[in-house]
Structure 1
Amino acid sequence: MAERTLGEIAAELVGELLGPDSFPITGLAGLEDAGPQDLSFVVGPQALAAMRASSAGAVLVPEGLEPDRPAVRVADPHRAFVGLLAEEEPSPDLLFPPGIDPTARVSADADVAEAVSVGPFCVIGPGVRLGRGTRLGAHVILEPGVLVGRECTLHGRVTVRYGCLVGDRVVIHPGAVIGSDGFGYLPGPDGMAKIPQVGIAVLEDDVEIGAGSCVDRAKIGRTVVGKGTKIDNLVQIGHNVKIGPHCALSAQVGIAGTTVLEAGVVAGGQVGIGDHLKVGAGAQLGGQSGIWRDVPPKATMFGTPALDVKEAFRITGAMRRLPELLKSWRKLVHDQREKDGE
């Protein structure tokens, strides 16, 4: 980042300056990695030890916390720090130069709006509609009939397959595939017969899809990722899945076909969710949980098979005592046999 003074940052954040106005800031970093001219942040008293051990030149602190170095006091240090980070992102024009690259192949009957960026070697098929302000990285493929809304960002090597719909302000990271065939086969005497997958996949407004993730098209109808949902890298969404608004799915989550996630569901890494299930609104699924039955709204589940988190932790705690209990049991059996003269 370009050098700024702590006073300038305090003014931008409308925070209370605690230290010299002219203190120079040349970077943003976490407490562990920060250097003497970096600005970091402290979320609360639990981070005091980390702050004292840090080499950060200055910190953002919340109300009621006294810093040991130059600082800016704000209501929410993390949120304020994120705002500063956003200013350091590369310019969109650097990553996505305006206009259509001469190596891109754009069908004559594609409807490409104004102010778009189409990168090198993109393929835009017949009947595609591309909304105003949307940006495509290199080697993006939009198959026939795809609709992409306004102000979207599709990074390099994204593929959106035929007929699928992408809303406004959607971000899709490199290598993701939207609308690949669902995994459907009919077993028979001659092996597996493929079930045609003739539905589509729909990404509603403000969705973000991580690198290498796949959202399968429906067998019939729609696979839907709801408004504002955020999906991490390497996530698999099966055919006819319906994901509600504002869900968050961490890396390597897998959701089998025709399952429904209601609004606000959060799933940790490597959660597996079986087919034809319903996960209620606001449920939280701990990492590596195996979901094998419906989950009530606002439940917190953990383990494989997944159970209510309190029950799962009790079972885990009991399992840790099994070696000790087994040893005691063997001693009891031995003592009883000696008593019986065996």
Structure 2
Amino acid sequence: MKLSEIAALVGGRLVGDADPLITGAAGLEEATASDLTFVIRQDYLPRLAASAAGAVIVAPGMSADRPAIVREDPYAGFALFLQRFEAPVDRIFPPGVHPSAVIDPSARLGRDVRVGPFCVLGPDVRVGEGSYLGAHVVLGADVSVGRDCRLHSQVSVREGCRLGERVMLHAGVRIGTDGFGFLPGPAGFSKIPQVGIAVLEDDVEIGSNSCVDRATTGRTVVGRGTKLDNMVQVGHNVRIGAHCVISGHTGIAGSCTIGNGVAIGGFVGIGDHLKVGDGAKIGGKAGITRDVPAGATVFGTPAIDIKESFRLFA
């Protein structure tokens, strides 16, 4: 692909007379003469000078020593170019149902659905048009999967749970497992039945080996456009708003409410029945023991406002 074509693709401006052929994308250290790379800050320019990259995306005001594309937010432009290298679903598995799949006669599959080897689809399952189920995916009875979803290998979605459109679940994700509910008594712990469901709204993406528990009653909800990293635990009856981002090894205990646009770092623990307001930011390894106001940035264990934390530990 010519660099001029890439510039048009990513909404940038080509700088220089050269228009090299670009066949790949890579970071500064790994790039070769046929690769496109990117630089987001001036202090990265010495690393660019030592790079073998054939071309670079830079921000306005930056100088480049090789053919370049100039656009606001070079990393966003680089990400647009990377989309050309995503493996199309047809290469992962061809259209149709693999002969080893076990599908209940009452299940309904939309047009162009792909069902991989050894999948199991229970009674009254519904899978929307264009969705892909990787090897060993299990959908329990009455599960609904929307259009254009991707469920990678070993995903399980338990009975009655709902997935919106364009949901992506990476390998080993568990949706609708029983919530952690037990009643203590003289003879030990009695299990509290978990009879609710889990709902993932449109454009949710969940990383490998993460779990979203079903509600005790009602719904556990992950809101539209929210992204969960690998190994995130979402407890029963949690409600996560739209367009949140939650990093790996975070645990959210039962009945918490997370607002819209919340950013949560890695290894965060959030106690049960707490509220995190819209737009809040929680630093990595924070321990949340009380509500977090909208727009706040907190850090530490127990978590406090980040400015107060800086004063205490400066």
Output the TM-score relative to the length of structure 1.
Answer: 0.89
Distance across 2 between alignment mates of 1:122 and 1:14: 41
**Residue of structure 1 aligned with 2:74, choices 74, 77, 89:** 77
- Match of 2:131, as an amino acid? T
**Residue of structure 2 aligned with 1:293, choices 290, 293, 297:** 290
SS of structure 1 residue aligned to 2:82 = helix
Does the aligned pair in 1 maintain the 2:14–2:68 contact within 8 Å? yes
1:166 paired to 2:138: no
CA gap of 1:280–1:13, structure 2 versus 1, over 3 A, is closer
Matches within 5 A, 1:201-280: 201-280=198-277
Distance across 2 between alignment mates of 1:116 and 1:159: 17
1:31 paired to 2:17: no
CA gap of 1:143–1:60, structure 2 versus 1, over 3 A, is same
- Match of 2:33, as an amino acid? P
Distance across 2 between alignment mates of 1:306 and 1:58: 44
Residue in structure 2 matched with residue 50 of structure 1 by the alignment: 47
1:143 paired to 2:140: yes
Q: How many residues align?
A: 314
- Match of 2:61, as an amino acid? G
- Match of 2:298, as an amino acid? M
Query: Any gaps of 5 or more consecutive residues in structure 2?
Result: none
Greater RCO (CA < 8 Å, at least 6 residues apart): 2
Q: What do residues 281-317 of structure 1 show as CA deviations (whole Å, max 9, x unaligned)?
A: 0000000000000000000000011000011122223
- Match of 2:73, as an amino acid? D
Distance across 2 between alignment mates of 1:306 and 1:280: 14
Shift of 1:22: 4.0
Q: What do residues 143-190 of structure 1 show as CA deviations (whole Å, max 9, x unaligned)?
A: 001111111110011000001111111000010000000001111111
Does the aligned pair in 2 maintain the 1:42–1:77 contact within 8 Å? yes
Residue in structure 2 matched with residue 157 of structure 1 by the alignment: 154
SS of structure 1 residue aligned to 2:85 = coil
Shift of 1:118: 0.4
Structure 1 residues 95-104 or 276-285, which shifts more? Answer: 95-104
Shift of 1:11: 4.0
Q: What do residues 106-136 of structure 1 show as CA deviations (whole Å, max 9, x unaligned)?
A: 1011111111000000000001111111110
Matches within 5 A, 1:259-338: 259-317=256-314
Shift of 1:25: 2.2
- Match of 2:273, as an amino acid? H
Distance across 2 between alignment mates of 1:161 and 1:95: 24
Matches within 5 A, 1:115-154: 115-154=112-151
Query: Any gaps of 5 or more consecutive residues in structure 1?
Result: 318-342
Shift of 1:14: 4.7
Structure 1 residues 4-13 or 121-130, which shifts more? Answer: 4-13
SS of structure 2 residue aligned to 1:72 = strand
Considering fraction of residues, name the structure with more helix: 1
Larger Rg: 1
Distance across 2 between alignment mates of 1:111 and 1:32: 49
TM superposition outliers: structure 1 runs of 4+ over 4 Å: none
Output the TM-score relative to the length of structure 2.
Answer: 0.97
RMSD, aligned α-carbons: 1.3
